Structure 1
Amino acid sequence: MTDLLLIDAPAMTRLLTPAATADVLAEVLRAGFDPEAAPLRTAVPVPAGELLLMPAASGAYAGVKVAGVAPGNPARGLPRITGSYLLLDGADLRPLALLDGAALTELRTPAVSALAVRRLAPDDRPLRLVLFGTGPQAYGHLEAVLAVRELAEAVVVGRDPIGARALAGYARTLDVPARAGTADDVDGADLVVCCTTARAPLFDGARVAPGATVVAVGSHEPTARETDTAFVSRAEVYVEARSAALREAGDLLVPMAEGAIGEDHIAGTLADLVNGRDAVDGRALSRRPRFFKSVGMAWEDLAVAGALYRAARGGS
């Protein structure tokens, strides 16, 4: 048996940049992988919260992430999201590497968003970003957005004013003008990114400008959402995969339950965006906002874990 390679959070930061991680995911989709056929997440209730089991197999690798969601952890000074990722050889299922699962999630989720932003957000000017959230995903999304777009300003909106000011201060160290703000700052935003634990809408969707892009990644539960029905109803909607979104994306399932939209309201998928099979080109960009809803999928973890393993072993 080969020695199990351990890849921790600091190693991930050294091995893959946000832009490189987005490229890894894009390469998988351009090679023809179909996320609709990927295994869906299994959620198991446990006393401390929830265990999420996410297996996948493709090409040279197989793997599984076991992630824990422990809502009581922050009060104990512990992370809300925990977990580990076991990477296996795809041919014989020998264990190859054990990765920090929470750090892997913090790397791949912003990279997925960055792929959508590459296609959906304007690229002819620096963008005004409104970022909801002050946790690890918010920091990761700030860096990932900066990897694909120039920012004129970043406005951080969070329940914790200290956390919002801290993230704004970090943005300024990256040469981005930044400040803490409120939900009303979505007025005039070019890009709104939501990465929170909220279970109800964060802002008035009617205030989102036509032509703006909204990305929401915080929820994977059918009854939880970060955006309201008014916004989703008027937006051009993209998802990672229809199968996953129609099972887990409360941002879409709640408006569907209300009768405001149907399944055909989904305009396309991440694969459509990456491969140019979408409605972005040749249409009036000023008429509708664009919405990318992410729930997180196991194939993404596998693709990034495999790239990290290759990089750690000195491969390409």
Structure 2
Amino acid sequence: MTESSTLAASAAGVLEPAAEPRRPRLVGNGRGGATVRGLGYPIAAFVLLLAAWELVKTLVPENGVSIGDQRVLPRTSDGALPHVWAVLTVLGEKDGKRSVGATLLHTAGFTLGLALLALVLGTVVGSALAVLMQRFSVVERGLLPYVIVSQTVPLIALAPLVAGWGGRVVIAGQPWKPWMSIVVIAAYLVFFPVAIGVLRGLQSPAKASVELLHSCAAGWWRTLLHLRLPAAVPYLLPALRLGAAAAVIGVVVAEISTGTAGGIGRQIIVFSQQSTGNAARLYAAVIAAALLGVVLTTLVGLAEFALRRYSRPGHSSGDIR
């Protein structure tokens, strides 16, 4: 067994939570049943949402409900709130050379690719900042307040600035592309939950675990690799879920703010200009954008499955350097 393996095994022994008594296994209550229930809840919630949609469409007058000059319930005409089946059937309508469904699929694929890049970039930057803040307490005290304050800047105000700065940047002789600005803007939303989550995870190992590795002549780098980073995984995964949703939001808002064509954000603007009498196309584009968040979160779920060996509770927390 190598020295690195010995250190990792020693730390794992200290971090391992106390064994819980085994519970009797119930027949028919295996992983298959849990998986079915896990899939059934979101499907049931989606069905209830559609039912509520149609209920509002049926009960609320087309002009909505107003008390005096104040509208308290929205309009439910086809131009404001189409039927569910109208949104589904509009996918087969022609939109130039392609159908509406094909157009949404093409633009959603473009936006999904940018959201993935933003998620990766934000995760790398956020994790690097977290490691830096964990290593140097003075950096944490000086940088963390600005990391928090950075999220108060409105994204719609930041997008034109990033696009303007990017127009003056040249990387390896290649000019800055508009999609690069969109990735940077979306990554700006992603890095915050990742940085906070990873920092909390890096500080979570018990002091006894850190002292054990130090007694084995392990420096900061080995302690980081064999103890702190594995302990940070359970904190990173929820942050990635938040980051995945933020990446999609950031890309869509950036596409709209910068006027970049090819993505679902720009397609929402196009369909909104066509929805004078029927908003079915606009709703279809908005739902497609929402489904992108589900797709990206599912991809993060695959990462959780790959890192499931580290996703165990019982790590002691403490302010450790």
TM norm. shorter chain > 0.5: no
Q: Indicate the structure with greater strand content.
A: 1
Higher RCO, Cα 8 Å, sep 6+:
2
Provide the TM-score with structure 1 as the length reference: 0.24
Which has more radius of gyration?
Answer: 2
